[in-house]
Amino acid sequence: MLAVNTADNRLLVFDLTGPGREPRLVATIPVGLEPVSVRARSNTEAWVVNHISDSVSIVNLTTLNVVATVPTDDEPADVVFAGWPIKRAFITCSQVNTVLVVDPNWPLAAPRRVKILGEDPRALAVSPDGRKVYAAIFESGNATTVLSGGGTLEGLFPPNVVSDPLGPYGGINPPPNAGSAFNPPIRSGLPTPPPGPLIVRKNAQGRWMDDNAHDWTALVSGPNAAASGRPVGWDMPDRDLAIIDASSLSVSYARGLMNLNMALAVHPSGVITVVGTDSTNEVRFEPNVNGRFLRVRLAAVYPTAPGLVWQKDLNPHLTYVTPTLPQSERDKSIGDPRAIVWNALGTRGYVAGMGSNNVVVVGANGQRLGQLDVGEGPTGLALDEQRGRLYVLNRFAASVSVVSVQDLQERARVPFFDPTPAAIKMGRKHLYDTRRTSGLGHISCASCHVDARIDRLGWDLGDPSGEMNPLTGQNKGMGIPGLTTGFEPVHPMKGPMTTQTLQDIIGKEALHWRGDRAGLEDFNPAFMHLQGDDVMLSPAEMQQFKDFLATLTFPPNPFRNLDNTLPTHLPLTGRYTTGRFAPAGQQLPNGNAVRGLALFRPPRLLGLGAFACSTCHTLPSGLGTNMTWDGTRFVPLAPGPNGESHLGLVAADPSTNIVFKVPQLRNLYDKEGMELTHTESLAGFGFSHHGVSDSIARFIAAPAFQVQSDQELADLTAFMLAFSGSELPHGSETTVLEPPGPDSKDTHAAVGQQVTLRTPWPGSEQSALLDTFLSLADSGKVGLVVKGRQGGRQRGYTYRGGGDFQSDRAHERVSAAQLRSRAGLGSELTWTVVPKGTQWRIGVDRDEDGVLDGDE
């Protein structure tokens, strides 16, 4: 049995033939960074997908070594083998929405690319005859989108359609959500709610409806679509499952499954089954969604008729009438499902709930048949009917649960090595655990902040019965002349706002789009008021949560050069002109991110000529400064009572004219997909806090920013895409137009990159890559390790600098040239760039006990 140990960057090989049918670990094989899936091509060869390394490790299961490394596009997620009579490898590359098609006999040859018209394809499966490949589209959307409303500036795009008299409310903004009234009622004494955008959802009849059963179709896709900035016929097809012909590579789609399609498996009948979650984000106001803002789904698609779909709620015991049930009822729930497998007869399916730490059993029609608890964070399933065993990979617990399929009892739990830091182990349950942190047992913070990132949706979590927030103690305007006025208390009816990432938020307070949460502690009531739990986190638990979140960083930026420099000729395929200069919808020219950086900083002044972009969006994170201008210099602000920072807020948002924290800019490429210059979008939410700006170029083209041409739009877009990766110039304490910004927790672009040597004389391309790896490691920006089998043993080497490697034996050092010379068939060596500071653990001292791996 094969399994990936994601935290330890290894493939695990278990022997199942021993007494008691308990897995016995017989090999751990180093692969790439963050392996997330594995498939056996044969009894002697396995392919391991490395999410951060952007690679697939081909492992010889006889020599127990990586024999080749296949480079992929950004953030690969899964691999399968399909086709007839010739089988090829199909690899999903989630960040760029492609499936690579690789000839396994010539894996390093140039692959073919299949474009997937959906955001973030990940899990794969194959039809019983091997002629079809199925790809689940992880962030497919749920047919919701946002309509602009609230902006009053001339020329603002998209137009304020919610206030348009042609709308179903005759321009009333915000419109009511319960007939002609608000539910809950607006608190007496509150000022008039500010106008704002509105979320609508396409129903089964193709009509765009709000949560008050009012029809906006005419202004979204119909004859008056221009009122919302859309072309007539605009649509968001909501593709959930890609169906690829393994021979012709043509693609068709199944629609209408759910928002997050997390895992899939083919039923023995040939029906494709998908598990995941579906959000009800079109419903407004926190009291109305408390504890009930999503459903955990099982969907089935008939391959001969992809339009024919049925769905089942995997939590049939829940009625969603109240937000809270007794713990005994919560313990029946499944949350955050990440794997599904069927028995050979198709009478039983098994679904792993990563958030609920359990496995549920379903029948052929999706009905619940049973459940059992397993280890923390189950993400993988393997069914061995011959031995009557279900094996469950518990990612967070670093173990394999051995389950008897006869009586559904856990017979054993086999641990494996886990290098995960204690702060992560202690704190991540507060993000993921659905039973611990919700009132119905099926949701958690990670239901929206998926894997601590985003769900690509917007939510209107205001509360008409709430109170005004004066933002006391926040860094309003950073003391910069021209930015310190216009601040007013924020209204509890805040309108739609897109989900923000949790990466690198600790130490970057205040939090939330509006900066109305002084620190993470201010979100504690959400465990009760949004997730329906009985209690909030204790102070000790909140500290655990903060310590965990403080470990989260941004991944390597796929748009930067390998040496982490900004690209000067970045193709902007699929990114279009906005109509400010050339007609809308034309391909943008290549972008020069170096020129974009110059446009972002002084002396180039945008806005009304008073500020540069970096005046507010300080480098290297894009956040506001944690200082205030005293007339001659920027002065640091003292931490708050919980150690929180006070990053800058502004009151000059051009689309709503209300107060906002200056947002960070490091994950913008994760939010692309909405497009209003064409009739089709892959996402319903884009940029800015409410998601109404459909593209980066559109936001930059706003009248408030005085760009001069489409080339400048392209250059700034290229810089925005390549923003993360640090190594950007900091501001100055004495320069009012460019304050010093907080440091950024992000990752060098080269981290994860790999080369496997099978000969002492690599080709010129591989040789050049190795030279680059050594140069980057010599600069101190990254670490470098080498792993492979030598003399019949697994060996490791860590680069110390100056061409010198420390081996996994304390008294042995070798040169880079010597390591190159040791590569050969059966003794392949894989060179991997790793994050700075991790090279010793990954390379030579796995358990960090001071005794090197080769000496233990």
Q: pLDDT, tens digit, for every residue of 226-259?
A: 999 999 999 999 999 999 999 999 999 999 999 9
Mean pLDDT of 769-782: 97
Residue with tokens 């008039």: 192
Q: Is 338 helix (H, G, I), strand (E, B) or coil?
A: strand
**CA-to-CA distance for 666 and 720, rounded, in angstroms?**
8
pLDDT at 658 over 90: no
Instruction: Give percent of the chain with pLDDT exceeding 70.
Output: 99
Going by pLDDT thresholds of 50, 70 and 90, the confidence category of residue 19 is: confident
Question: Which helix (H) or strand (E) covers residue 48, if one does?
Answer: strand 45-50
**CA-to-CA distance for 63 and 105, rounded, in angstroms?**
18
Mean pLDDT of 796-801: 98
| Interacting residues of 69 by C-beta distance below 8 A, sequence separation 6+ | 32, 55, 56, 57, 58, 754, 755, 756, 830
Count CA within 13 A, CB hemisphere, residue 475.
31
Q: Hey, what are 604's tokens?
A: 């180039």
Question: Which helix (H) or strand (E) covers residue 782, if one does?
Answer: strand 782-790
What is the per-residue pLDDT for 326? 97
Contact 242, 116 (CB under 8 A): yes
pLDDT at 654 over 80: no
pLDDT at 706 over 90: no
Contact 611, 600 (CB under 8 A): no
What is the per-residue pLDDT for 657? 53
What is the per-residue pLDDT for 607? 65
pLDDT at 652 over 80: no
Mean pLDDT of 138-144: 97
Residue with tokens 């499966």: 125
| Interacting residues of 183 by C-beta distance below 8 A, sequence separation 6+ | 177, 285, 288, 464
pLDDT tens-digit readout, 208-229: 999 999 999 999 999 999 999 9
Q: Hey, what are 38's tokens?
A: 């594995």
Mean pLDDT of 401-406: 96
Quote the mean pLDDT of the chain: 96
pLDDT tens-digit readout, 273-282: 999 999 999 9
Q: 795-821 burial by CB neighbour count: b if 16+ within 10 A, else e?
A: bbbbbeeeeebbbbeeeeebebeebbe
Listed residue (549, 351, 520) closest to 442, CA to CA: 351
Residue with tokens 């800015």: 688
| Interacting residues of 596 by C-beta distance below 8 A, sequence separation 6+ | 566, 715, 716, 717, 718, 719, 720
Going by pLDDT thresholds of 50, 70 and 90, the confidence category of residue 152 is: low
Domains along the chain?
A: 309-420 (2.130.10.10), 754-855 (no CATH)
Torsion region of 409: left, alpha or beta (phi above 0 gives left; psi -120 to 50 gives alpha) = beta
**CA-to-CA distance for 375 and 402, rounded, in angstroms?**
10
What is the per-residue pLDDT for 672? 97
Instruction: Give percent of the chain with pLDDT exceeding 90.
Output: 93
**CA-to-CA distance for 364 and 145, rounded, in angstroms?**
34
pLDDT at 412 over 80: yes
**CA-to-CA distance for 744 and 726, rounded, in angstroms?**
6
Q: Hey, what are 320's tokens?
A: 């969603």
What is the per-residue pLDDT for 655? 54
Q: Is 88 helix (H, G, I), strand (E, B) or coil?
A: strand
pLDDT tens-digit readout, 427-444: 999 999 999 999 999 999
**CA-to-CA distance for 489 and 491, rounded, in angstroms?**
7
**CA-to-CA distance for 716 and 711, rounded, in angstroms?**
9
Mean pLDDT of 485-494: 92
Residue 215 DSSP code: B
What is the per-residue pLDDT for 419? 97
Q: Within its chain, how far is the Cα of 734 from the centroid?
A: 38
Q: 231-245 burial by CB neighbour count: b if 16+ within 10 A, else e?
A: eeebbbbbbbbbbbe
Contact 444, 365 (CB under 8 A): no
pLDDT at 524 over 60: yes
What is the per-residue pLDDT for 307? 85
Going by pLDDT thresholds of 50, 70 and 90, the confidence category of residue 18 is: confident
**CA-to-CA distance for 106 and 597, rounded, in angstroms?**
41
pLDDT at 187 over 80: yes
Q: Hey, what are 306's tokens?
A: 């992809």
Peptide bond into 23 cis (omega under 30): no
Contact 99, 275 (CB under 8 A): no
What is the per-residue pLDDT for 609? 78
Mean pLDDT of 681-699: 96
What is the per-residue pLDDT for 704? 80
pTM for the structure as a whole: 0.97
Q: Hey, what are 678's tokens?
A: 């064409």
What is the per-residue pLDDT for 329? 97
DSSP codes, 366-430: S-EEEEEE-SSSEEEEEEETTTTEEEEEETTTTEEEEEETTTTEEEEEEE------HHHHHHTHH
